[in-house]
Amino acid sequence: MKSTLLALAFAASSQAALRFGCSSISIQRLDPLVEPGRIPSAHVHQIVGGNSFNATMGSGANNDIADRATCTSCFFSEDFSNYWTAVLYFKARNGTFKRVPIKANSALEGSTDGMTIYYTQKDFNSNGNAKITAFPPGFRMTVGSPTTTEKSDVVNGLSYTCLQNINTRGSETQEFPTKPCPAGIMAIHHFPACWDGKNLDSPDHQSHMYSTTKKGTFVEAGPCPASHPVRMPQLAYETIWDTTKFNDKSQWPADGSQPFVWSMGDRTGYATHGDYVFGWKGDSLQKAMDSSCMFQACGNGKPLLSQNAAAINNCKVKSTINEDTEGWLTSLPGAM
């Protein structure tokens, strides 16, 4: 018995996986990564994380947003990173749009929206003896593209799960589900995890990173290539779009197509994308990745600091854009 426990303890070293909820700090048209300084940006985003999120956030190694933020809407209180995606709208038969509500991470009491964030080893819970190097201050990246119009033939880590119930996993598709989903649609953004070791960002926000993901999400990834040799945490977002109140098929398009559309106008689902600006305080993320903690048990100082739901939900960023994103809209915000 004793030796089994020891063996388990040994096998568990450096196999940390973080999984935690963040509530939304803002839903508005800003994109400091792809369109810095543009007010408003092209389409609406949902944003979680630190409150230094703004139209312009600076760049470079000396621009540590963890030094500027005073609160975060994430469970781990040392995480002032920003995470964002487009938002989903329902298009009614009469042509108007209504934003689809978001179902918050189940551990976030009282939160009405937000996402679940993961930082894992290369295949979720073992690191294949690869050292996981935390992102450095000033690091940022995107995955996917708002202008994609066709199905990708490479695995790109972007997918949807049609939730039969809240625990449905697998059966991921690259396009929006074609039938009503009884518990909502989960949008998954799985970022590349191999870094070139030099650039905190790149002109397209992607070429400094490389994805070794072979199948869907959270499966064993191959080794990092020589061009991008540094294995970083496998970052992933899950957002549960609560489409349930739009599941009446008599309200769906008469041609039988599905009614959901991303805020940039995409009805296929292929243009799904996610943005990341690193902002963990000091070496907190590295400490966590070097430990063997799992999920929210990494909080309470073991080794990360964490906060309660009230503090999470109190952290907000005021919208600087004076427009309605929430009513029945005659066009998508920003649509020409």
Ligand X SMILES: *[C@@H]1O[C@H](CO)[C@@H](O)[C@H](O)[C@H]1NC(C)=O
Phi and psi, residue 275, nearest 5°: -125, 145
As measured in angstroms, the least distance from the Cβ of 251 to ligand X is: 6
As measured in angstroms, the least distance from the Cβ of 71 to ligand X is: 11
Which positions touch ligand X (CB under 6 A)? 52, 54-56, 92, 94, 96, 251, 328
| CB closer to ligand X, 92 vs 309 | 92
As measured in angstroms, the least distance from the Cβ of 163 to ligand X is: 23
Q: Alpha-carbon distance 131 to 278, whole Å?
A: 19
Closest CA to 264 of 142, 174, 145, 92: 145
| CB closer to ligand X, 92 vs 305 | 92
Query: Are the C-beta atoms of 70 and 307 separated by less than 8 Å?
Result: no
Centre a 10 Å sphere on the Cβ of residue 228 and count the other Cβ atoms it contains: 21
Q: Alpha-carbon distance 191 to 104, whole Å?
A: 21
Helix, strand, coil: what percent of the chain each, to 5?
Answer: 10, 25, 65
As measured in angstroms, the least distance from the Cβ of 279 to ligand X is: 13
| CB closer to ligand X, 73 vs 159 | 73
| CB closer to ligand X, 237 vs 252 | 252
As measured in angstroms, the least distance from the Cβ of 64 to ligand X is: 14
Phi and psi, residue 10, nearest 5°: -65, -50
| CB closer to ligand X, 4 vs 94 | 94
